[in-house]
Amino acid sequence: MQRKKRKITVRITVFLIVIALSMSASENEQTKIGFVTAQETNHHIVEIGDRFVVLNWTVQENYTFSGFRIEVFDSSLNLSQTWSVIQINSTMYLNHINQVNLVNYTDSHGEIFYSKKEFSLNFTYFIVPTNTKSIQVKINGLKTTNPYQIQIYSTNSSLVINNDFSILLVEEEVSFWITEEFTTLQSIDEALKYSRTATTITILAIILIFIIIFVIIAKIDVPFNRVAYVFIFPALFALVLLEVYPMLYGIVLSFTSYNLRRGEIPQFNWLENYIHITNNPQLPIAFTTTLVWSTVIIFLKIFLGFVLAYLIHYKVKRKKVWYLLLYLPWVIPTYIKILSWRTFIQGSGGESLFNLLLGTNVNLMNQPYVALLLACFVEVWDSIPLITTLFLGGLSSIPKELSDIAKVDQISERTSIRRIIIPLIKPIILPAIILEIIKTFGSFNVAFLFTSGYPLLPYGMNEAGIIGATDLFSTFTFYMFYQRRDVGIAAAYSTIMSILTLFFVLVWIKMSKGTESSFQPSEIKKRRNYKIIIPTFLTIQAIGYIVSGVVGFRYFGYHWNPVLSYIMGSLFAIVGLLFIWKPNQSSTGLKLLLVVDLIFSLTQFFLFQMWFAFNWNIFVVAVEFFIIANIPREKFNSNFVLNKLRKIAQYTRKTVVTTLQRIDTKLIDLNTIHLVLVVQASILLVSNLILGSSFWLMWTIFGLNILVIFSSIFSQSFTKFSVLLQPIIWIGLGFAWEPIGWKIIHVIVSLVFIINYIQKQLDKRKIGEFQRGIYSFLSFPINSSVTLLSFSLIAFIPIWNIFWIAFSPSNTVVPTNFFPSNPTLNNFVLLFTQENILLHFGNSLLVSLGSATFCILLTVLAAYAFSRYRFKVKKQLMVGVFIMKMFTGILTLIPLYLIMFNLGLIDNYIGVILAYSTQTIPLGLWIIKGYMDSIPKELDESALLMGNSTLRVLRKVVFPLAGPAIAVAFLLNFLTAWNGFLLAFVLLQSPLRYTLPIKLYTFLGSIETSSPEWGMFAAASLLVMIPMIIMFIFLKNYLLKGANYHIQRGDL
Amino acid sequence: MKVEIEKLTKKYGRKTALKDASIIFPEGKITIILGPSGSGKTTILRLIAGLLYPTSGEVLFDNTIVTDNPANKRNVAMVFQNYPLFPHMTVVENLRFPLESKKKGKLFRVNVYSEEEIEKKVDDISSLLHIEEHREKYPSQLSGGEKQRVAIGRELVREPDVFLFDEPLSNVDARLRYEMRMWIRKLHELLNKTMIYVTHDQSEAMALGDMIVLLEDGKIVQVGSPDELYYDPNSKFVAQFIGNYPMNFLSFIVEKNKCKLTVDMKEVLSEKVFKYIRSKGIEKGTLGFRAEIIREFDPRKPIDKDMFKLECKVEDVEKVLDQQILTLNYLGEQIFYVTKTRKRFSKKDSIAIIVRSDDIYIFDEKHRRV
């Protein structure tokens, strides 16, 4: 059955009918792209495109036929073909509005619905209900500049549904509507032809200018260095052509009215695109999402990365095993990881393993907060190995003596982290973290592959389309470009994003300069005149609050309650005035006020205004905090009232502290047992809350747990008895119908508790030989190991899910038991026979090998020149090359696409190879140069003195010696191309040329697809993953060496 | 081949490593470039080798300017401090490499030496250097001395015009160092090629050099034979740098036709010295004498007119085998005294020393010898 259906699908997808919907009617015909309304007017052609046409017709109230048949008549070939049938059926259920499916219609009330695409043996068909009023159809797959006529017949047909297949039997039909003949538009490809010459000329000009500049600089420099210029020329030239030129081109494009869909000659419209953008309510939404996204992710990354690195570096034995476990998820391609998370969490429409395990009801399609949070989680998990590596590098740079001294001096762990470790790793880690921020800021993969921007937001809609709760700046830009083909506007978005990135880049430059020289700040802290800055700030803020309260401005102040705006505004004004007269006294009040404001603003933002408006209060408050933190503390010589107030405050504080102290003396020495108990209690609470458990047993156990905690912190003997809680929990778990996931978590925590308990309670002196054995086994650092293990194993749960799906016979997402009940290799067989996966393997291999080889050729030459010669502008070039890396990705995508197009390199392996080869040049340069610096210079100098030419020295001496670094750089580029999604997705168009990532993506499609092919995807993922894991295990020493290299240098 | 540098200057950014250096390295001689670290000796060597390009000035080989020729066109051999053998080649491959590197032809370049010639040369050199049994070993399997021999052998096979040594013995232990010095002398006799040898160790310079060039802060201070540098230093720096022990200095002042030491305003200097000073017209200066020429005052022997006596206190005694190195304190000034007497000194002992006027060097205010 599946195979038959597939054949039809293949046939049908060639000429696919997409019927789509837009939520609002718009006046401008040209902007109706992507989403079009089913309007209640009579039959008419809504839009004619280059390869598609949109039709709209009304269904009469007393329509007697059972459906419509759509026939396309190609006037040039005199050939008509039936493309699809729309069936009217009374017994269908209405699809949810968020589910973008293939048919849309309005019912008698004018509400809009989508219909689902179905397959039968002879036709694709869509089912609409009997009360349908109007239908809109988008017919794709037409030829460009070709005359067509669409004929619609009213049919009486019946659908015969068998067990295995369905077939449409057409019995009677009457012509319903024959459109006038129309000609499809010029295609985008043809429209672009004119700019081909322009691009060629520009590129030639760039080549010429570049060569001239190079020759001039080389002439100025000393003769011995000229060869260095020859060596760096290819790499720099590739970078200029494929990175710098697109960047500048993108900026130019942002000032033009360039729309690929309209196929007109672009003209300069100066700031019109930017004005359009600022008027677009989607910009602030995308901005907000990106900001929240970056902040959450960076904090999580830093926190988790530090914790993991700390545990690995200081807490556990057998570091190598942990390294391996940490790096193993790293080798799994990002796109597979993300898609497998999607499989695990979302499954098909919320029916997933995740929900089954935890008993939750997560659906990424309609829960904005959950979707954003989970997307952040996936992004963090994707990059955890990298950030942990960075922290590990930082930690291993701390001299071991320092931590020994800390131990000998009895400095507590907390203090030593806060006062020794963090200050020491900060200068090393900070530039790297800023790089991470830049990367997160421009991240694309998770938002695109995991949620595709869903869930959609009602206020994120305008004539340009709709924006979702997880649409980042990057995906939004991509959407603007890829779906809407509005190059000018997309380029303007990119430019804005570049400017924001530039800010971080400047910070990075400053930071890395600071760390180069020394650890100590070299300048004396400057005192600024805060007496002016703060009052002005506060006045502006006060005015802003009050005005926005009056006007109802939603980006500032308190939009959900204008009264609060007035109150806070006036308070700010008062404090501002006070600050002029009595700065010292009012600064405490100001701090308090700012904290209150921050709490209010954050509450407002996250609970009421998220995705509706970014609240700039938060930003302003943050800035003010920063200023206040720099004010030097001075002695209070305050007046009477304030003095009195302060005394009261001091008194209350003292009483609170003494009471706490009194309680503290009653406590016994707390240890890890108590910590584990608290963890257990909180997990119980969370699971009870999430499940909404009304089951009294689990709540009782939770109560018991709290009781045990309280009793055990006061008495040693109660602590001894706390172990009795565990059997109770187990019994509770046995009876409670909790989902399996929670049971597993509870059991793990319980075991950890028991082991900790035994470790603490066993008296070493009194035990026998056997117990001693147990004890030595248990002395294993269990808590750290369990934490690390759970962190690293979580990444493998979706992988197991994939594994299960790959071997299961049916196309289901949710595993029913640990191993598939009757495992089959059917999916793999299908991959090789039908999907021709070997071809795509070949494509990927060709692209990756080509790109890596090309990249290495350029990089090695340049790295040698950078390592051995002291030519002019060397330092600036190095930094420049590195900065360039920060601007790549989505920022240069659009212009790169156009350039490739104009060079005829779209849908061409060479284009993809070129695009990927420059991606890792900066990093590769850094790695190889670093390694070459460690090769004694005398080696190649003595080879040179023997009369060898520089190239021969490179070939005979340097190349063999720099082998490991070159291999790592090669692998780096290879993996980038092998795993690369975005560039290949954009630059390759015909299915036969797809690389593996694109092929795998087509199995699943984006999140809204109705029929993903889980089995194929899972099987293909395994096929991709397994060779990579094997390769990793073989090459791990090499890889670790390479990785260590740039950790030490603090750049990655 | 005669090597000459002419007004050679090399700047690294703002720092000047070498300033206006002009030296002629005579053909077939060992010339030592000596100086403390950072004085620009290696810079000279690298400029001659063609590994660095001078900021200004010229390098001449046999009166032809070769400044613009890069290192691979100069036929110069260089032995580096850390014996850079190619770690990925065996000893034989290391020895063969320079021979295989010699090419001839303009566009279609072929090896100069045939396979048989290469074999023969490698065999010869390995028997000369006694490294036959190590032929198939990799450099990491060799000891320091063996590495050094292979490194030198690798340069020898090439038959270069000029040999450059960049502190080749500084990483070698003391015992081996004597052996290697002897070795280099033997090599020089054998080849009779121009050799330029850089070192910071003055005893090595004295032992090897036909001619020594002494550098300080990128400037040439004195050029001459080892004896000239030892007995006739032209400045305080040279006097201080050459010799096993630092020279002792006492400053003096000429006042009212009397020459006094600055520390105690005593007139100790002999008439002869005073006359000499006066004839040069110096008012302030330093007098120096080496630790080796100091004698202990013997009350039984009278001091003659040419000597002067200093009453000192012993501050520290260092006994090295048969020698004793005493650090004396003469009114706060340190004086080193080397003696071979069996007499034992202890701290705080009083001792009187005598110095002969002939052994005194006199330097003016600008530390130049007069």
Tell me what pLDDT residue A850 has.
Answer: 94
Backbone angles phi, psi at A669, to 5 degrees: -65, 120
A376 CB-near residues (< 8 Å, 6+ apart):
A293, A296, A297, A300
| Nearest chain A CA: its distance from B78 CA (Å) | 7
Burial class from Cβ neighbours inside 10 Å (0-12, 13-18, 19+) for residue A34 reads middle
A559 CB-near residues (< 8 Å, 6+ apart):
A548, A552, A553, A604, A608, A609, A613
Burial class from Cβ neighbours inside 10 Å (0-12, 13-18, 19+) for residue A530 reads middle
**Chain A residues touching B15 at Cβ < 8 A:** none
For residue B58, give both structure tokens: 């010229």
Verify whether the Cβ–Cβ distance B71 to A936 is below 8 Å.
no
Burial code (b: 16+ CB inside 10 Å, e: under 16) for A132-152 equals bbbbbbbbbebebeeebebbb
Q: Domain residues of chain B, as ranges?
A: 3-235, 248-364
Verify whether the Cβ–Cβ distance A947 to B70 is below 8 Å.
no
Tell me what pLDDT residue A853 has.
Answer: 93
Q: Are the C-beta atoms of residues A204 and A196 closer than 8 Å to each other?
A: no
Separation CA A62–CA A362 (nearest Å): 43
Q: Write the residue in A945, A948, A960 that is nearest to B78 by C-beta.
A: A945
Helix/strand/coil for A526 = coil
Burial code (b: 16+ CB inside 10 Å, e: under 16) for B238-259 equals bbebbbeeebbbbebebeeeeb
Termini Cα distance of chain B: 36
Q: Are the C-beta atoms of residues B189 and B133 closer than 8 Å to each other?
A: no
For residue A51, give both structure tokens: 């390869």
Q: Which of A704, A732, A729, A731 has the alpha carbon at shortest distance from A718?
A: A704
Tell me what pLDDT residue A410 has.
Answer: 78
Cβ count near B19 (within 10 Å): 18
Tell me what pLDDT residue A913 has.
Answer: 92
B344 touches chain A (CB under 8 A): no
State whether CATH 3.20.19.10 applies to domain A278-517: no
Tell me what pLDDT residue A22 has.
Answer: 29
Tell me what pLDDT residue A117 has.
Answer: 67
**Chain B residues touching A947 at Cβ < 8 A:** 72-73, 75, 98, 101-103
Q: Domain residues of chain A, as ranges?
A: 2-185, 278-517, 530-631, 668-789, 796-808+816-830, 835-1004
pTM for this predicted structure: 0.75
Q: Are the C-beta atoms of residues A126 and A116 closer than 8 Å to each other?
A: yes
Q: Write the residue in A870, A946, A950 that is nearest to B101 by C-beta.
A: A946
Interface with chain B: mutation pick from A938, A952, A959, highest number of B CBs within 10 Å: A938
CA triple A557-A562-A564, angle to 5 deg:
75
Tell me what pLDDT residue A878 has.
Answer: 82
For residue A491, the one-letter residue type is: A
| Nearest chain B CA: its distance from A224 CA (Å) | 6
Q: Write the residue in A223, A936, A956 that is nearest to B53 by C-beta.
A: A223
Tell me what pLDDT residue A855 has.
Answer: 93
Interface with chain A: mutation pick from B66, B86, B152, highest number of A CBs within 10 Å: B86
B56 touches chain A (CB under 8 A): no
Q: Name the packing angle between helices A963-979 and A909-917 (round to 10°).
A: 130
What is the length of chain B? 370
DSSP letters spanning A984-1033: HHHH--SGGG--HHHHHHHHH-STT-S---HHHHHHHHHHHHHHHHHHHH
Q: Are the C-beta atoms of residues A909 and A847 closer than 8 Å to each other?
A: yes
| Per-residue three-class SS string for B211-254 | EEEEEECCEEEEEECHHHHHHCCCEHHHHHHCCCCCCEEEEEEE
Separation CA A474–CA A496 (nearest Å): 11
Separation CA A858–CA A978 (nearest Å): 19
State whether CATH 2.40.50.140 applies to domain B248-364: yes
DSSP letters spanning A300-326: HHHHHHHHHHHIIIII-S-HHHHHHHH
Separation CA A725–CA A749 (nearest Å): 12
Separation CA A533–CA A552 (nearest Å): 27
User: Per the CATH hierarchy, to which homologous superfamily does domain A835-1004 belong?
Assistant: MetI-like (1.10.3720.10)
Q: Name the helix (H) or strand (E) containing A394.
A: helix A368-396
Tell me what pLDDT residue A851 has.
Answer: 93
Tell me what pLDDT residue A1045 has.
Answer: 47
Cβ count near A358 (within 10 Å): 18
Helix/strand/coil for A435 = helix
Verify whether the Cβ–Cβ distance A223 to B51 is below 8 Å.
no
Return averaged pLDDT per consecutive 10 residues of chain A, 1052 residues in all: 41 33 31 39 72 78 79 80 72 45 61 68 75 77 79 81 73 81 70 71 88 86 83 88 86 82 70 83 81 88 89 80 76 84 82 81 83 89 82 80 81 81 79 81 85 76 72 84 80 86 80 50 56 79 85 77 84 81 72 83 79 75 75 55 77 88 79 83 85 74 84 78 80 76 84 81 65 66 79 80 83 73 80 84 91 92 88 80 77 85 84 89 83 84 85 87 83 85 85 86 76 82 83 71 48 36
What is the length of chain A? 1052
The architecture that CATH gives domain B3-235 is 3-Layer(aba) Sandwich (3.40)
Verify whether the Cβ–Cβ distance A947 to B78 is below 8 Å.
no
CA triple A4-A95-A1001, angle to 5 deg:
50
For residue A7, give both structure tokens: 């054949």
Q: Are the C-beta atoms of residues A1052 and A386 closer than 8 Å to each other?
A: yes
Q: What is the DSSP letter of A186?
A: P
A264 touches chain B (CB under 8 A): no
Same fold, A278-517 and A835-1004: yes
B280 CB-near residues (< 8 Å, 6+ apart):
B362, B364, B370
Q: Which of A201, A177, A197 has the alpha carbon at shortest distance from A45?
A: A177
Tell me what pLDDT residue A895 has.
Answer: 86
A939 touches chain B (CB under 8 A): yes
CB pairs under 8 A between A and B: 70
Q: Which of A611, A545, A553, A551 has the alpha carbon at shortest distance from A573?
A: A545
For residue A313, the one-letter residue type is: H
CA triple A309-A310-A316, angle to 5 deg:
95
Burial class from Cβ neighbours inside 10 Å (0-12, 13-18, 19+) for residue A523 reads exposed
Sheet of B295-296, strands arranged across: B295-296, B350-356, B307-320, B323-330, B333-339
Q: Which residues of chain B have pLDDT under 70?
A: 267-268
Q: Are the C-beta atoms of residues A638 and A583 closer than 8 Å to each other?
A: no
Separation CA B102–CA B118 (nearest Å): 11
Interface with chain A: mutation pick from B51, B56, B163, highest number of A CBs within 10 Å: B51
**Would you call the peptide bond into A455 cis, given omega within 30 degrees of 0 as the criterion?**
yes
State whether CATH 2.60.40.10 applies to domain A2-185: yes
Separation CA A828–CA A844 (nearest Å): 18
Separation CA A574–CA A596 (nearest Å): 15
Sheet of B258-261, strands arranged across: B258-261, B248-255, B284-289, B361-364
Q: Which of A309, A294, A296 has the alpha carbon at shortest distance from A791?
A: A309
Half-sphere CA count of A824, side-chain side, radius 13 A: 11
Verify whether the Cβ–Cβ distance B88 to A960 is below 8 Å.
yes
Strand partners, A136: A56, A104
A623 touches chain B (CB under 8 A): no
| Per-residue three-class SS string for B73-112 | HCCEEEECCCCCCCCCCCHHHHHHHHHHHCEECCCCCEEC
Separation CA A285–CA A611 (nearest Å): 5
Separation CA A22–CA A37 (nearest Å): 5
| Nearest chain A CA: its distance from B142 CA (Å) | 17
DSSP letters spanning A35-81: -----SS-SEEEEE-SS-EEEEEEPPTT--SSEEEEEEEETTTTEEE
Sign of CA dihedral B81, B87, B92, B93: negative
Tell me what pLDDT residue A856 has.
Answer: 92
- H helices of A58-193, in order, are 188-191
CA triple A252-A258-A259, angle to 5 deg:
150
Burial code (b: 16+ CB inside 10 Å, e: under 16) for B147-179 equals bbbbbbbbbbbbebbbbbbbbbbeebeeebbee
B256-295 residues touching A, CB cutoff 8 A: none
Backbone angles phi, psi at A44, to 5 degrees: -160, 160
Q: Name the helix (H) or strand (E) containing A179.
A: none
DSSP letters spanning B118-162: HHHHHHHHHHHTT-GGGTT--GGGS-HHHHHHHHHHHHHTT--SE
